[in-house]
Each structure stands twice: as C-alpha cells, then as structure tokens.
Amino acid sequence: MAMGAVRSRMFRRKILGGALMAMVWTLAQAQPTAPQTRQAASSAQPEGARRPVDEVDINSATPQQLNALPGFGPAYTRRVIAGRPYRSKNQLVTRGVIPQAEYERIRDMIAAHRPAK
C-alpha cells in the first residue's frame, strides 16, 4: 500500500472520530436533566415528616385516580373497576385482580370504603 493511501485512511478516521465525538457531546448537552425521583425527594425530608397521602378509594375512584397509582396502567385499572365492590383492600390480591407485589407497593395509598346502600 502506498504511503499516501495510509495517510488518507488515517486522516478519514480522525475526521470521522472527531465528528462522532462532537455529535455525542452535542446530544449529551441537549438532554434534559432527570427529574428528582420520589425516593430522593422523600429522603430530603426529616424522618417522620412524611407528607400525608390522600387514599384512593378503590370502590369509587375514577380511572384517572387509579392510573395515578405507582405501577398501575389501563389493564390494572380496568380489572379493579370490573371487580367492584370490595369489602377490603386486600381483596385485590385474594381475587387475583393484582399481584401481591403490586399490592405491597400501593396498600398504604388505597382504601376500600363500603358503598352507601
């Protein structure tokens, strides 16, 4: 191979490498900063000074209220609404509406108030 071809190939590699690095740097600068996670926000508060959470009544909650629960989406929301009424909140697990792990995550955020007769 001629010396000129080797230099030309090296030059192209340097140019392409520099262009790639410039693109990566530009993308990194354009990315918004990640929002503060719930755990990080709660750790900033002193122990015992937790914000009170409004409980969501699984017997009367709207689909939007149920979707706002962590880990809930349209599928769980439909299943919860279809299984109403509930006498207690743990019936979500005993009836097979949601898995135990999901229930453990939301149990302090939900309630099962008995519907008025």
Distance of alpha carbon 70 from alpha carbon 61, whole angstroms: 15
Q: Taking the model in full, what pTM does it have? A: 0.54
How far from 79 is each of 13, 67, 72, 114, CA to CA, in Å? Answer: 57, 12, 11, 18
Structural tokens at position 33: 């900063």
Give 8's pLDDT tier (boundaries 50, 70, 90): confident
Question: What is the pLDDT, as a whole number, of residue 43?
Answer: 44
Contact 114, 58 (CB under 8 A): no
Question: What is the pLDDT, as a whole number, of residue 90?
Answer: 96
Burial of 117 (0-12, 13-18, 19+ CB in 10 A): exposed
pLDDT in tens, 16-75: 777 766 666 666 666 555 444 444 444 444 444 344 458 999 999 999 999 999 999 999
Question: What is the pLDDT, as a whole number, of residue 2?
Answer: 75
Question: What is the pLDDT, as a whole number, of residue 5?
Answer: 75
